[in-house]
Structure 1
Amino acid sequence: MTISRDPVILSNPALLERVDKLRDLNIGQHVPLPQLVVVGDQSSGKSSLLESLSGIPFPRDQSLCTRHATQITSRRDSNDSVLINIIPGPNATEEHKEQLKGFRNKLPSGSEFRKQFTDILKKANEKMGLRTDLSTGKGEVFSKDVLKIEISGPREDYLTIIDVPGIFRTTTQGTTRDDMTLVKDMVKGYIKDDRTIILAVLPSNVDIATQEILELAKDVDKNGERTLGVLTKPDLVLEPSAQAAVCDLVLNKKRSLTLGYFLVRNRGADGGFEEQSELDRVFQTQPWADLPKDRVGISALKEQLQSLLVDITRREFPKLLQDVNNQIKDCKRELDSLGLPRQDEREQRSFLSHIAGAFQERAREALAAHYNADPVFEQDELRLITQVMNITDVFNADFRESAHSRHFEDLGVPKTPVVAEPKAEPKAEQNADPKAEPVAKRPERPAHRDWEETPAGVTVDNLRALLDKAKVDEIAPQELSELGDIIIPIQEIPKPRDNFTAWINDVHLQFRGMDLGTFNPYLVSISFAEQSHKWGDITKIYMSRVIITLHRFIAAALRSVCTEEQARNHLWYAILDTLVERYKTAMAKANLLIEVEQRKQPYTLNRQFAAARMEARGHRITELLRPTARRDTKQFGGVQYMVSLDDIAKAAAGKPNVEQLQEDIHDILKAYYGLAADRFIDNVFQLAVDYYLLTGPSSPLKVFTQDWVINLEPGELERIASETKQAKKNRSRLGKKIEDLSNALKILKSQDEQ
């Protein structure tokens, strides 16, 4: 570390004064401050060193030894004054803080203060709650409060030093092993930050290898860049070999430190009132006289400490400013995460109303597929309308593929395909072209085609894969407990069978009457009910998938707008019953549509019904005539198929009554089923899903609204929106921290302006 010797800097205390103001605000608990910290064993001579540096007569009485941190600030001023107060520890209670406010002493001069210091120290210990007698009595042995002593006068040098309790290895005078640990942790806490210069006080008459403080310093200062060794009690080192070892340390030949070692002599416990100049005469004797003059004596040490403190403050100032700014930003983010304050009814309604507004905005964006409105929509659960439409397309495909019990006949395929014999001569017919080729077998079409209407470029398999990815069919235990009375287990729907003609024949034989070319209309109702009996299961599976998807959306949307878990949980259970009722209403509407289609007499006003019946009859006649048709390539400029008028008459009149009735039932049922299926699919989506679940006034999405918040009873409002004790504590803590850091920022910026 480079040592500054700029006399202008040393004489200008403005920068250091502002750091001391930050320390007064207890900013050091949030942001490390540049500081000098004196550490050492209880018997290292720490108190004597502090007296030499500050002129304060620290008592040697064991009951008044350093049992708390002491911040000593001296500054040059035209007027003499001493101000003493106590800075509460970082974890002090509000009650303790109030108690410490009463301790504030102001004395007219340093000499007066030094006379009263022992009494002041006793009173400070009492205010901190420390024991007056270490062996007996109530109170703590050590405190994390800080005694601040600020000395001003025309002869004072600018210096700020923090003294912490000395490390001890054996329990005496009422101390415990817990006290040993507490002191060691306190020392570690003060020396850990990179902005701290460690003044390690080491008695010269003790083997340095036994000094634990150097090991503690090395733990936090690996390279020894900010540790300065202060060797005390040189007058007690009598052996030449021991003196040589001390000289090697001062010359940085052994256990070197970047900041090196200083050798000082302080007044002893029974050394009377010798002047510092008299004490320093020891350095005029051998072997100390050969040591560098800037490495021995209190004056040299004090000058070095002043330079170090200025250097580290100048170096760290920009980082300090940045750290305070970052801390304020972090605190504000954490405070924002707690939401609006809610101490009273007005704040609680405002808090819930804000969340309700944000929730409704999420719902509107999700229904409109405005997913670029917020990065939160990267979550699949929040892409509501996309999920619903994918489920709906799968429902549409499943319905058209599997909802009918039996496949209808494909009227474009003859029941008994006719193939022209390749070797037989065609039978000559009147008006037929002798060169006309026989009619070949018409290519067969599959007996059934799935009606899979999906978006362009998307297959049903793609959509099913998306549903699997969204785990729509995997119901979590909590979802099952909430929705178990509404949804049904997802099950595989059996495929339609192919024996439609035989089945119609059985139905006709079971319900026939004395018909003469007609049939009982009740046969169509029975047949349609049987053909559509799977509609209920497929529809309930569809509704269950939509309800689960909607339920998950509401939960995810609430998580995104209300980050506090307790408030969110209370809100969830407050709206859950209403959500479930509205899910039930939507499912009931779907059940009503199922019942209407299956129980009522089949009927339609759709004009396509008659057209479909006529088309079916035309297909039947066409297939009957196909074997007798001959291709004619001469007339009308293209290939034509010619049939005889007599064949047409025979085809129309050549069936028994029973067969004709069965075909009529088939054609009516097929024509009506197709129209009814289209109508039913549309109605389920438009009424049960879109109106009752998504967009209608009774949609579950419109349960949690700002109007709902306004109408909440005060008791229910308090239960949902009141803050936890921990949240209140965090809010208070963050508010105080932001206030302190903001004040610190003002102090730091005022330095920039000067």
Structure 2
Amino acid sequence: MAEEPAAPSPSQSTSSSASPLGHSVIPIVNKLQDIFAQLGSQSTIELPQVAVVGSQSSGKSSVLEALVGRDFLPRGSEICTRRPLVLQLLQTKRKPDGTEEEYGEFLHLPGKRFHDFSEIRREIEAETDKEAGGNKGVIDKQIRLKIFSPNVLDITLVDLPGLTKVPVGDQPSDIEARIRTMIMSYIKIPSCLILAVSPANADLANSDALQMAGMADPDGHRTIGVITKLDIMDRGTDARNLLLGKVIPLRLGYVGVVNRSQEDIILNRSVKDALVAEEKFFRSRPVYNGLADRCGIPQLAKKLNQILVQHIKAVLPGLKSRISSALVSVAKEHASYGEITESKAGQGALLLNILSKYSEAFSSMVEGKNEEMSTAELSGGARIHYIFQSIFVKSLEVCLF
């Protein structure tokens, strides 16, 4: 029997058609995201990215691992993604001798390279347990991971917790509402593309991912559909009409993929072997003839890369304007502090000047002399007086009597 050809990686299949612009604009946006992530809530500038949305066990993790070509995400039968994972894929060149280097870096561990992808999984699990606890808790504090590899295309994805109905472990009774609120906080932003992942063996009309995407993006300009688990559909059925958008239309269309099963994962079947099986599956199904651009992980990688680049180009003018305005504002604030010097004496004088200005501003606020004080409500000293004379006094009366 002839040996099956090796399945091409996403970058090998699409490098000739992937946008060269992606190699320049996507890494720049990634750097901005890293800077803004360190600023926390102080940043008000929204950057383009792709949010991955789907119900628990919809196949989100399998899709992400297939895009990378390696196993690196926590696995299990219960909820695994308990913190948003910002995944930045960066394509690198192979070495002159033909060898390739693949590694990951976490923003919270600068300079440390993870060449063993099982260590990446353990670090994700450790960081998740550190912030969310070890008993299925979910929080909205990001983990940021960069993966450098010649086998990926430049894409930035945010893996969000899967939608779940029944709380487990330390999860609160309103866990579904909390996860929906978390997801909506990402996908409602106009600069965010939505990757809505839905399994083919369930009714698409009941898809949680498409339902939430429809709420955040009613016109469908930002939503890309992914249909997973095509190989376990009921006999006699197929996903052709789903992929053609005849059931629930999406402007950016759908891509169908074949996931590794839980048995494959238990038996340590590699992602590369799964890509070979996926390619064989689509070649052996005549019903998917003519849908080559809508089938398989390589096509999904190509589509995401191209759409993300076009999306960045569309929002770039507004993004540049907002960053320029922020720079001007920060420069004015910086100048107001005085000239920065290298000498300790000069730095001490500068610090004293800043403290003096803060003290003056605080005093004027308490005395009601600050020009920025609101005239629509009590503030400053008047507010403090009201609290002591009204709220505090009433509280004492309740305690005494």
Q: Give the TM-score of the pair, scaled to structure 1.
A: 0.40
Deviation at 1:196, TM superposition (A): 1.3
Q: How far did 1:346 drift?
A: 3.4
**Distance in 2, Cα, partners of 1:65 & 1:354:** 52
Distance 1:348 1:191 in 2: 39
The farther-off stretch of 323-332 and 156-165 is 323-332
Q: Shift of the alpha carbon at 1:207?
A: 0.5
In the TM superposition, 1:220-231 aligns within 5 A as 220-231=216-227
Q: Does the CA-based 8 Å contact 2:87-2:144 persist in structure 1?
A: yes
How far is the alpha carbon of 1:230 from its aligned partner? Answer: 0.3
Q: Does residue 132 of structure 1 match 2:137?
A: no
Mapped partners of 1:36, 1:199: distance in 2: 7
How much has 1:210 moved relative to structure 2?
1.4
* Secondary structure, counterpart of 2:20 in structure 1: helix
Unpaired segments ≥5 residues, structure 1: 87-100, 135-140, 336-340, 356-554, 573-754
- Are residues 330 and 220 of structure 1, via their aligned partners in 2, closer, same or farther at CA, if it must alter by over 3 Å? farther
Judged with a 3 Å threshold, the aligned counterparts in structure 2 of structure 1 residues 175 and 229 are, in CA distance, closer, same or farther, namely same
Q: Return the match for 1:51 from 49, 53, 65.
A: 65
Distance in 2, matches of 1:74 and 1:208, equals: 29
Distance in 1 separating the partners of 2:18 and 2:297: 22
- Say whether the 8 Å CA contact 2:29–2:48 is kept in structure 1: yes
Partner residue of 2:305? 306
Structure 2 CA distance for aligned equivalents of residues 35 and 9 of structure 1: 16
What is residue 265 of structure 1 aligned with on the other side?
258
Specify which of 129, 134, 150 is matched with residue 146 of structure 2: 150
Alpha-carbon displacement from aligned partner over 1:55-89 (angstroms, at most 9, x marks no partner): 24223224671001111122122473534335xxx
CA contact (8 A) 1:44 1:232 kept: yes
Alignment of 1:99-114 (within 5 A): 101=108, 103=109, 106-107=112-113, 109=115, 112=116, 114=117
Q: Deviations over 1:483-542 (max 9, x none)?
A: xxxxxxxxxxxxxxxxxxxxxxxxxxxxxxxxxxxxxxxxxxxxxxxxxxxxxxxxxxxx
Identity of aligned residues (%): 25
3-state DSSP of counterpart to 1:31 = coil
Unpaired stretches in structure 2, ≥5 consecutive residues: 1-14, 96-100, 335-350, 386-401
Q: CA deviation at 1:260?
A: 0.9
Q: Could you say what secondary structure the match of 1:321 adopts?
A: helix
**For each residue in 1:332-356, what CA deviation from the matched residue of structure 2 results, as whole angstroms up to 9, or x when unmatched?**
9999xxxxx999873367559999x
- Structure 1 residues 351 and 178, CA, compared in 2 at 3 Å: closer, same or farther? same
Aligned in 2, Cα 1:196/1:30: closer, same or farther, shift over 3 Å? same
- Contact 1:37/1:164 (8 A) holds in 2: yes
Structure 2 length as normaliser, TM-score? Answer: 0.73
Superposition RMSD on alpha carbons, in Å?
Answer: 3.5
Q: Tell me, what secondary structure is at the counterpart of 1:199?
A: strand
In structure 2, how many angstroms separate the alpha carbons of the residues matched to 1:348 and 1:201? 51
Q: Output one character per residue of 1:131-185: Cα deviation in whole Å (capped at 9) or x when no partner.
A: 2234xxxxxx012121222122334432221110000122234433322222111
Measured in 2, the distance between the counterparts of 1:567 and 1:342 equals 24
Structure 1 residues 203 and 353: alpha-carbon distance in aligned structure 2, compared to 1, 3 A threshold: closer
Aligned partners of 1:221 and 1:191: how far apart in 2?
A: 8
How far does the alpha carbon of each residue in 1:117-144 deviate from its partner, in whole angstroms, 9 at most, with x for none? Answer: 332222212332x22234xxxxxx0121
State the distance in 1 between where 2:323 and 2:46 align: 10
Q: Does 1:85 align with 2:91?
A: no
The question of whether the paired residues in 1 share the 8 Å contact of 2:373 and 2:379 is answered with: no
Post-superposition offset of 1:560: 7.2
- Residue 249 of structure 2 aligns with which residue? 256
Matches of 1:105 and 1:133, distance apart in 2: 30
Distance 1:352 1:181 in 2: 41
Amino acid corresponding to residue 249 of structure 1 in structure 2: L
Number of matched pairs? 334
CA distance in 1, matches of 2:53, 2:355: 53
Question: Counterparts of 2:112 and 2:291 in 1: how far apart (Å)?
Answer: 41
Q: Does residue 1:320 correspond to 2:319, yes or no?
A: yes
C-alpha spacing 1:327/1:181, structure 2 compared with 1 (3 Å): farther
1 CA distance for matches of 2:362 and 2:183? 47
Distance 1:352 1:276, change over 3 A: closer
Q: Secondary structure at the match of 1:10?
A: coil
Higher RCO (C-alpha under 8 Å, 6+ residues apart): 2
Measured against aligned partners, the alpha-carbon deviations of 1:252-281 in whole angstroms (never above 9, x if no partner) come to: 222111011111112122123334022221
Closer/same/farther in 2, CA of residues 319 and 205 from structure 1, 3 Å limit: same
Q: What amino acid is aligned across from residue 322 of structure 2 in structure 1?
A: D
Q: 2:184 aligns with which of 181, 185, 188?
A: 188
2:51 corresponds to which residue? 37
Please state how far the C-alpha of 1:239 moved relative to its aligned partner. 3.3
Instruction: Go from structure 1 to structure 2 and tell me whether the alpha carbon gap of 1:567 and 1:195 turns closer, same or farther (over 3 Å shift).
Output: closer
Q: Larger Rg: 1 or 2?
A: 1
Is the Cα contact below 8 Å between 1:75 and 1:152 reproduced in 2?
Answer: yes
Equivalent position of 1:492 in the other structure: none
Contact 1:64 1:121 in 2 (8 A): no
In structure 1, C-alpha distance between the alignment counterparts of 2:361 and 2:168, rounded to whole Å: 56
Higher helix residue share: 1
